[in-house]
């Protein structure tokens, strides 16, 4: 690598990555391709003095950024979805993307909306949570397949928990369908056992992250939601304003206002999809028939009472957004959670 190189843009591909190097004036001094492997990264970047390297966030970006940092480089992980110059280019290619990254990081790294990857320990902990989520999704899919298949033959399985489904189905299935369904029921059994093991691992991880106990003070927030919130948000000081966490998790409505027009749009759905779904599930419990009386429930029910199209759905999303703010505030302040603050008003009926 030439000594005049100061800024490097890397468009990471699954097998090969495109590299563009510029000097302080923005002049391109080198273009090349490197293998997207640890050996390839070390071979190219290991023999040069520290540089500013920009890469896009993606599947390979966590380990590549760690490798580059270990080699002494200043790494900027860009969020391409926020950089229209890259996503909206009519000449988009790996080569031009690498050049854009190099030029933008030279001018102002904030233009790349930098993303900070979590450390290896937190990444492994979050992997445990995500693998459990994948098992749950897979089991739900198989359960639905069994139920729908039984219906198509004129029968119906009674409602039961997912944990007890395989045993219940074996007892309730018509004889002519049992042999065809057995392989799927065995798979559901195995997945249920693995989910239980994952739950035990998550219980142990809670001991590693004691701050999750602050989050679990809120009714409806269980160990999976608390741990996922802790690992995704990473630090309570990440946001200057606690309300910003709602936008970060994609729970804020899109904005399209001009003059007297102010359209009601759907939420942005930015950020971590799994954590957002967990918070929505918590909000459904809080507003449901078994939800405990609390300020959050009262606020959500009043919102739902306004009526209009999809009022209940909007209330659930609003409660999920407010819940994320509450969790961050509890984490930051380390205060005891009060269900109802400064109010003696009677409970609001659902």
Number of H helices and E strands in the chain, helices first, is 13, 7
Where does a domain end: 65, 81, 112?
112
Indicate whether 163 and 247 sit together in one domain. Answer: no
Is residue 340 situated within a structural domain?
Answer: no
Range of the domain at 53: 7-112
Indicate whether 200 and 238 sit together in one domain. Answer: no
pLDDT of residue 342: 66
Where does a domain end: 177, 193, 208?
208
What pLDDT digit, counting tens, does each position of 209-262 carry? 999 999 999 999 999 999 999 999 999 998 888 889 998 899 987 665 455 554
Indicate whether 94 and 171 sit together in one domain. Answer: no
Is residue 348 situated within a structural domain?
Answer: no
How many other CB atoms sit within 10 Å of the CB of residue 159? 8
Is residue 345 situated within a structural domain?
Answer: no
pLDDT of residue 284: 96
What burial class does residue 214 get, using C-beta atoms within 10 Å of its C-beta: 0-12 exposed, 13-18 middle, 19+ buried? buried
Q: Residue 76 is part of a domain; what is its CATH number?
A: 3.30.420.40
Where does a domain end: 112, 131, 147?
112
Residue 246 and residue 327 in contact, taking contact as beta carbons nearer than 8 Å: no
Supply the pTM of this predicted model.
Answer: 0.81
Indicate whether 83 and 37 sit together in one domain. Answer: yes
Indicate whether 174 and 222 sit together in one domain. Answer: no
Is residue 349 situated within a structural domain?
Answer: no
Indicate whether 220 and 323 sit together in one domain. Answer: yes
Is residue 279 situated within a structural domain?
Answer: yes
What pLDDT digit, counting tens, does each position of 13-60 carry? 999 999 999 999 999 999 999 999 999 999 999 988 899 999 999 999
Indicate whether 235 and 329 sit together in one domain. Answer: yes
pLDDT band at 280, cuts 50/70/90? very high
What pLDDT digit, counting tens, does each position of 66-111 carry? 999 999 999 999 988 778 777 777 678 899 999 999 999 999 999 9
């Amino acid at each position: 690598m030439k000594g005049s190189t100061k800024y490097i843009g890397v468009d990471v591909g699954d097998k090969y990555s495109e590299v563009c190097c510029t000097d302080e004036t923005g002049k391109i001094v080198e273009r090349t391709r490197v293998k997207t492997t640890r050996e390839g990264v070390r071979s190219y970047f290991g023999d040069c003095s520290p540089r500013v390297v920009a890469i896009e966030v993606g599947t390979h970006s966590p380990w590549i950024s760690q490798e580059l940092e270990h080699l002494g480089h200043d790494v900027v992980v860009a969020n391409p979805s926020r950089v229209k110059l890259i996503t909206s280019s009519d000449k988009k290619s790996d080569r031009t993307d690498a050049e854009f990254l190099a030029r933008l990081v030279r001018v102002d790294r904030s233009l790349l909306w930098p993303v900070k990857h979590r450390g290896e320990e937190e990444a492994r902990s979050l992997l445990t949570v995500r693998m459990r989520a994948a098992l749950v999704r897979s089991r739900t899919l198989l359960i639905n397949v069994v139920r729908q298949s039984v219906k198509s033959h004129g029968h119906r399985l009674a409602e039961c928990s997912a944990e007890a489904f395989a045993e219940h189905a074996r007892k309730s299935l018509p004889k002519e369908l049992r042999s065809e369904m057995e392989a799927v029921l065995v798979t559901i059994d195995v997945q249920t056992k693995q989910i239980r093991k994952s739950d035990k691992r998550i219980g142990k991880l809670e001991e590693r992250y004691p701050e999750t106990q602050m989050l679990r003070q809120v009714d409806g927030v269980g160990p999976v939601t608390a741990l996922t919130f802790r690992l995704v948000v990473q630090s309570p000081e990440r946001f200057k304003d606690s309300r910003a966490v709602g936008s970060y998790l994609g729970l804020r409505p899109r904005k399209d206002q001009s003059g007297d027009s102010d359209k009601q749009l759907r939420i942005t759905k930015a950020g971590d999809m799994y954590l957002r779904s967990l918070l929505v599930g918590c909000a459904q419990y809080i507003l449901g028939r078994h939800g405990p009386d609390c300020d959050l429930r009262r606020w959500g029910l009043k919102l739902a009472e306004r009526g209009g199209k999809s009022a209940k759905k909007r209330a659930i999303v609003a409660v999920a957004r407010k819940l994320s703010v509450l969790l961050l505030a509890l984490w930051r302040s380390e205060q005891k959670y009060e269900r109802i603050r400064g109010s003696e008003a009677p409970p609001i009926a659902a």
